[in-house]
Amino acid sequence: MHGHPLIYLDNAATSQKPQVVIDALTQFYRCDNANVHRGIHELSNRASAAFEKTRERAARFINASHSDEIIFTRGTTESINLLANAWGNQTVKAGDVILLTEMEHHSNIVPWQLLARRTGAKLAFLPVNGDEGLLDLSRLEDSLTSNVRLLAFTHISNALGTINPLVELCEKARKRGILTFVDAAQSAGHRRLDVQELGCDFLALSGHKMCAPTGIGLLYGRLELLDDMEPWQGGGDMISSVDFHESTWNKVPHKFEAGTPNIADTIALHAAMDYLDAVGRDRIAQHDSEIGAYAFEELERLGKVRLFGPRNQRAGLVSFLLHNIHAHDVVTFADRQGVALRGGHHCTQPLMKKLGVSSTSRASFYFYNTTEEVDRLIEVLRGIQKFFGE
């Protein structure tokens, strides 16, 4: 990259893809390509079987009790939009509250704003305690009022590296009969997830952040909840029978998957999940926590830097600002040395406003990143400080 070896530190945006995933894609297109759920012929049977096998694999990946609890979507964003429509439209009424946190990605804010506009519901936000980036849990009990219908929050913040106390949040909500949605976009490929143990009602993830291709993700929902939800998109596959004026719906999960799905990428998601479990998600979590802590400490030692997110128990990403140097300039300079960072608001503008910044630079790691790469990042940042006379 610009004459330097690439150091890819933008994994929170999207991960790199292993060869087995690329192979799964080409294998499907070369040998097994057909539409699913509609053919009688052998090729279609093969594609359908591989597609549905991924559903089973995904259920095992997050320990859902039934593969019907897995709805394939384009990713976390589409999953949340599905939920806000299919669950929200029929459940949420004027005066109801959707409780979010101040560190949510736009994708876990805007669909709820649209729902609020349709229904007259309101949004409320659990506060973040400033640069340290922790949720103010002392406010949790008071925030879980009787008109809260859903607590929707991110497991790991893509802007701060905070790991939220998922079990505690879900448990407190459940005790009051409030449903929970977990945005696992940043966590699913980084640590073990067990939806039964966590006790969440819904959960979403994006394949592309966990070694799979773009355009595939999923929504998990407890079966009894999904059964009661109305479809959100109409079309082929989601119906059981269609008349000119009336239709009846297919069963869950097909009720929520209108039209030809993203077959090839779904099958490649299977390969990605196998790959991640071969590497070991516990090992990935351990590596994340070590490299995240190392980067945090090294940035602190570099000096003249404002760091975001907690010091301890952080995910494998660090958000920072060099004093008097804008995040964009940092990213342009680092890029010229082959270091790929992200600069901007990370789709968390409300959080940025709260912290009083317009953007930060972010280095986000995956299992293939090394502490040597962090050292190189620090060296490059030192060079940038020198260039800017800081």
Partner 1 sequence: MFEELNDLYQQVIMDHSKKPHNFGTLAGANCCARGQNPLCGDQMQIFLKTEDNIVRDLRWEGDGCAIFKASSSMMTDSLKGKTRGEITQLFDEFHAMITTGEIAPNNHLGKLEVLSGVNRFPARVKCALLGWRAAMSALEGDHQPVSTE
Ligand X SMILES: Cc1ncc(COP(=O)(O)O)c(C=O)c1O
Active site residues: 347
Q: Which of residues 323-342 bind partner 1 (CB under 8 A)?
A: 325-329, 332-333, 336-337
Q: Which of residues 347-366 bind ligand X (CB under 6 A)?
A: 347
Q: With CB cut-offs between 5 and 8 Å by kind, which of ligand X, partner 1, none does residue 75 bind?
A: ligand X
Specify which residues 92 forms β-bridges with: none
Burial class (CB in 10 A: 0-12, 13-18, 19+), 117: exposed
Q: Which stretch binds partner 1 (CB under 8 A): 89-97, 252-260, 307-315, 344-352?
A: 344-352
* 107 binds partner 1 per the rule CB under 8 A: no
* 306 binds partner 1 per the rule CB under 8 A: no
CB of 344 to partner 1, least distance (A): 5
Please confirm whether the linkage preceding 253 is cis (ω < 30° from 0).
yes
Query: In the 8-state DSSP scheme, what is residue 210?
Result: G
Give the containing element (helix H, strand E) for 100.
strand 97-101
* 154 binds ligand X per the rule CB under 6 A: yes
Query: How many chain residues are in contact with ligand X, going by CB under 6 A?
Result: 14
* 2 binds partner 1 per the rule CB under 8 A: yes
CB of 338 to partner 1, least distance (A): 12
Q: With CB cut-offs between 5 and 8 Å by kind, which of partner 1, ligand X, none does residue 164 bind?
A: none
Q: Measured from the CB atom, is 200 or 325 closer to partner 1?
A: 325
Alpha-carbon span 56 to 316, nearest angstrom: 29
Crossing angle (nearest 10°) for helices 281-302 and 263-279: 80
Q: With CB cut-offs between 5 and 8 Å by kind, which of ligand X, partner 1, none does residue 349 bind?
A: partner 1
x-or-dash pattern for ligand X, window 202-231, by CB under 6 A? ----x-------------------------
* 343 binds partner 1 per the rule CB under 8 A: yes
Q: DSSP of 346-370, one letter per residue?
A: TT-HHHHHHHT-S-EEEEE--TT--
Alpha-carbon span 62 to 210, nearest angstrom: 13
Q: Measured from the CB atom, is 127 or 344 closer to partner 1?
A: 344
Retrieve residue 47's tokens. 């594609």
CB of 372 to ligand X, least distance (A): 26
Alpha-carbon span 182 to 163, nearest angstrom: 12
**Nearest CA-CA partner of 132 in 169, 156, 153, 161:** 161
Tokens 């009051």 -> residue: 176
Distance of CA 29 to CAs 15, 23, 165, Å?
Answer: 22, 10, 42
Q: Which stretch binds ligand X (CB under 6 A): 82-90, 101-109, 306-314, 368-376?
A: 101-109
Alpha-carbon span 354 to 255, nearest angstrom: 40
CB of 258 to ligand X, least distance (A): 18
Q: Which stretch binds ligand X (CB under 6 A): 71-79, 225-233, 282-290, 315-323?
A: 71-79
- Applying CB under 6 A, which of residues 11, 15, 54, 76 lies at the interface with ligand X? 76
| Contact criterion met (CB below 8 Å) for 207 and 75 | yes
Tokens 């991110």 -> residue: 154
Q: Binding residues for ligand X, per CB under 6 A?
A: 12, 75-77, 105, 107-108, 154, 158, 183, 185-186, 206, 347
